[in-house]
Structure 1
Amino acid sequence: MSRFKHECGERILCVGHVCVDIVSECSTYPQEDDKVGTTTKSNRCIDQRWQRGGNAANNCTVLGALGAHPSFCGTVAASHEKSFILEDFAKYGINTDNVVVHENCDCPVSCVILSAATGSRTIIHSNKNLPELTANDFAKVDLNDFGWVHFEGRNVSNVCNMIRHVREFNKKHPERKPLTISVEIEKAKPELEALIPLPDVLFVAKDYAKFKGYSNMDETIETVQSLALPGAMIICPWGEVGASASSTKGTIVHSPAYPPSKVIDTLGAGDTFNAATIFALCKGCTLEEGISFGCKVAGAKVGVRGWEPLREVVKHTIPLVSSADETADLLHRT
């Protein structure tokens, strides 16, 4: 466990995507050619909002709500949405010094339909022309500022080179604790398999597992473990079933899900689990405690609308303290 234990003050860097989510919550999912309005009787638009989205950006939001010191590294378009994105990052205490701004580009946007009847979310994403972060961009980041680097599973060739850069940094600085590297593989894309052998901690989402033909968490973990870095932690969340994970010794541990009394908004639930689990592991919790905490915070997320209520739930139900030992004790009791 010692290679994964970090001082409380060390910061977490999340590398990946940020976009604007335009979220419309409807009474039920609309039929084709439906007109859904605020006064329509059959199907009403209950709420509509802009919120900052993207997996790595959402990871940062959750980490900020939990009281960590997250930083976001990714690209942002110099469009009119830029100020909204950067101001929203700041609202959650997220550092954006490592954002790369591109001129003459459009901001990526996701149009999201939430069904109040089921809590489901349907996402239509568009990224017209914003370039992905390059390995050269990442090489400019001062890694001395961080204790953990988390990569969103996308932009695979560049991310592979970024991870190699972190490994080289660790070799060149034996006097300090090595940065822990984690990667999330979520989407049904075959090229993501190239990321499996690289990180210390690997999050394998249910969507990717099913795409590969795996039928449950244990099968996923056992198969992926054979391809992963020796000693790596493999973590597999499976929605309402909970989450399982393998330790560095190959022992599989499990946590049940902790669903709310009513599912309201599942958008970002997976990102919430990943971030909360990273937070717990950074505080020195065991793997079993880490995924249990991840399931609890993810359960809280799907029971509220958007991100701001989650911050209030966390504030009132998971008191944030400054001591790593106190935090670990708190997580054990949660």
Structure 2
Amino acid sequence: MLCVGHVCVDMINICSSYPEEDQKVGTTTKVNRCHDQRWQRGGNAANNCTVLGLLGAKPSFLGTIAGSHEKTFLLDDFAKYNVDTKHVVVHEDCDCPASCVILSMETGSRTIIHSNKNLPELTVEDFRKVDLSSYTWVHFEGRNVSNVVGMIEVVRKHNGSHKDVKPVIISVELEKSKPELSSLIPKADVIFVSKDYAQFQGYTDMAQTIDKIHSETRPGSLVICPWGEKGASARLKEGQIVSCHAFPPDQVVDTLGAGDTFIAASIFALAQGHKPEDSILFGCRVAGAKVGVRGWEPLSHLFKDCDFLPAVEDSNSRRDVVMNTT
């Protein structure tokens, strides 16, 4: 599986509560404490790779990385989660994108302040250098839209010239409140639509979102819409909408990357041939587990010991995810 998108350094501050303006938050402050502070690799596609690696897949990351001192940290952290980075494009003399993240223990919320000074986005020419015959699935983070459209066309041409093998499945994420993301809807085989994007378009619930988005898709495409604490829904190629509830933990600890976790877990199940309804159920279960732990490392032990991994229906043969993939 190849995940295409962004990677950055997340500078995470875990506080008792979200600080007020001009408030000092320290490790010994009684009113509001900083309980932990750490660096963590971030970015939607990078997080997708982390979860896929933890689940036992063989993910690859494709994106740009600055040739600054943070490069070693990012590449070492990818390797820690068995993520292949041979395709990354390094730009020397650039600053590494970074996010300052405040996690509130009181509410579980995460506030992100992001900065990308001068790191160029991935180009279509960068993408053409990848040997797509090595992959069964390519997932695109919803950013750098004009170039992503061109990259998807590269995958389509690859599928058209390799009709003797299973086509590479294309998925995209529509997350941010950006109108240009709509141009990706008719391009992909699987479309993940976030609650934020849906509400930006004026949709009020999962069913309405799926109906509206589906009207713009390719024939046979799968539309999936996670909606936080309300679970997730998907529209089957027969037209039926299936839904599943969320799996909140006993205590919300860290919501950072929950949406990325849902997408990665759903892709993991779909790519193995499981039905969409089973796949989004699996996605909700894994995302719920993520919200209940801090960071990513605890998930490796949870996935090893927890019995919800076999909950996705076993399959001896891969089912078709979409009808039209060329």
TM bucket normalised to smaller? over 0.9
CA contact (8 A) 1:234 1:245 kept: yes
Distance in 1 (CA, whole Å) between partners of 2:251 and 2:316 is 28
Please tell me whether the aligned partners of residues 8 and 96 of structure 2 are also in contact (alpha carbons under 8 angstroms).
Answer: yes
Q: Is 1:128–2:111 an aligned residue pair?
A: no
1:283 aligns with 2:279: no
Q: 1:141 aligns with which of 123, 130, 137?
A: 130
Matches within 5 A, 1:187-226: 187-226=176-215
1:326 Cα shift?
7.2
8 Å CA contact 2:274, 2:314 repeated in 1: no
Q: Deviations over 1:172-200 (max 9, x none)?
A: 00111000000000000011011010000
Amino acid at match of 2:54: A
Aligned to 1:94: 83
Query: Counterpart of 1:6?
Result: none
Q: Cα–Cα, structure 1 residues 302 and 327, in superposed 2: closer, same or farther, change >3 Å?
A: farther
Q: Is the 8 A contact 1:66 1:320 kept in 2?
A: no
CA drift at 1:325: 4.7
Q: Which residue of 1 aligns with 2:139?
A: 150
2:324 counterpart of 1:306? no
Q: Which runs of 5+ in 1 are unaligned?
A: 1-11, 329-334
| Corresponding residue number in structure 2 for 1:9 | none
Distance 1:51 1:314 in 2: 20
1:1-334 to structure 2, matched below 5 A, reads 12-318=1-307, 325=314
Aligned residue type for 1:278 = I
The one-letter code sitting in structure 1 at the alignment partner of 2:29 is T
- Give the SS at the match of 1:197: helix
Amino acid at match of 2:270: L
| Residue aligned with 1:208, SS | helix
Q: Secondary structure at the match of 1:51?
A: strand
Deviations 1:110-158 (A, max 9, x none): 0000000010000000000000000000000000110000000000010
User: Partner letter of residue 53 of structure 1?
Assistant: G
> In 1, Cα distance between the equivalents of 2:301 and 2:94?
35
Distance in 1 of aligned mates of 2:296 and 2:217 = 33
Point out which structure has higher relative CO (alpha carbons under 8 A, 6+ apart): 1
- Give me the identity figure in percent: 66
Q: How many Å separate the matches in 2 of 1:252 and 1:215? A: 16
Aligned-residue offset at 1:101: 0.3
Alpha-carbon distance between aligned partners in 2 of 1:51 and 1:327, rounded to the nearest angstrom: 38
User: Does structure 1 retain, via aligned residues, the 8 Å contact 2:7–2:45?
Assistant: yes
User: TM-score scaled by structure 1?
Assistant: 0.92
SS class of match (1:47)? strand
User: For the structure 1 residues 326 and 234, does the alpha-carbon distance in structure 2 shift closer, same or farther, using more than 3 Å as the test?
Assistant: closer
Instruction: Tell me by how many angstroms 1:319 deviates.
Output: 8.5
> How far apart are residue 310 of structure 1 and its match?
1.6
Instruction: Give the partner amino acid of 2:194.
Output: A
Q: Deviations over 1:96-119 (max 9, x none)?
A: 011000011000000000000010
1:223 deviation in Å? Answer: 0.3
